[in-house]
Homo-oligomer: A and B are copies of this chain.
């Protein structure tokens, strides 16, 4: 890890761009959201410093952290949620970005401590089933190491699923986390989750017994965007 400052510039830039997308997509007010970008070869991720306003963020403010939580580079204190990001990079194969926000509708669903049912194709375009919701973290886990425990709770809840096929979750009582093949994709999944949560809210208000989308439509939509024969987009996922 003795590399010069220059060697992390691209990672810091990627993290900065992803963080700036958060307020641009109205996913956070004040300083309430963070994103990180991971380089699996270096085993290091770049993350937003804690409590800094988006308008003031610069590339050099990003903090470089390794998977043991050691600060590799940076003079600011990293996001208070850093350990949660760290666990996700360690546990989830292939992810290169993580995003956490308190976006309104996703957070409200998290406060109900329930998964978001898959009620339409907008949802199925992201995840082929409900957006999972964790259990509430126990008092002992909160005491021991809250942010680490949150990461482990997320990993436990997704056990047996491919992380890149369920790129989002609600942490009960807290809010959403998302991830993806890049930091920007993690933020875009956060935006998609917020919209899906909003849609499910309105639908549930209009019809408390709204039926889930039939599985054959769920699969069709998920596959046309993410499957081996995907034909959404221009080929580069």
- Residue ranges of A at the interface with B (Cβ–Cβ < 8 Å): 25, 29-30, 32, 49-52, 76-77, 80, 102, 104-105, 107-114, 119-122, 136-137, 139, 142-143, 146, 173-175, 188, 191-192, 195, 198-207, 210-211, 213-214, 216-217, 220, 224-225, 231-235
The CA-CA distance from A211 to B77 in the complex, in Å, is 33
The CA-CA distance from A30 to B175 in the complex, in Å, is 21
**Are A206 and B142 in contact (CB-based, < 8 A)?**
no
**Are B216 and A50 in contact (CB-based, < 8 A)?**
no
**Are B201 and A111 in contact (CB-based, < 8 A)?**
no
Instruction: Tell which of B113, B143, B200, B201 touches A216, judged by Cβ atoms closer than 8 Å.
Output: B143
- Which single residue of chain B is at the shortest CB-CB distance from A195? B29
The CA-CA distance from A30 to B113 in the complex, in Å, is 27
Cβ–Cβ < 8 Å partners of A175 in chain B: 120-122
**Are A207 and B50 in contact (CB-based, < 8 A)?**
no
Cβ–Cβ < 8 Å partners of A225 in chain B: 80
The CA-CA distance from A217 to B225 in the complex, in Å, is 38
Can you name 5 A-B pairs with beta carbons within 8 Å?
A77-B233, A107-B120, A111-B203, A114-B207, A142-B216
Known: A50-B231, A232-B51. Is A120-B109 also a contact (CB below 8 A)?
Answer: no
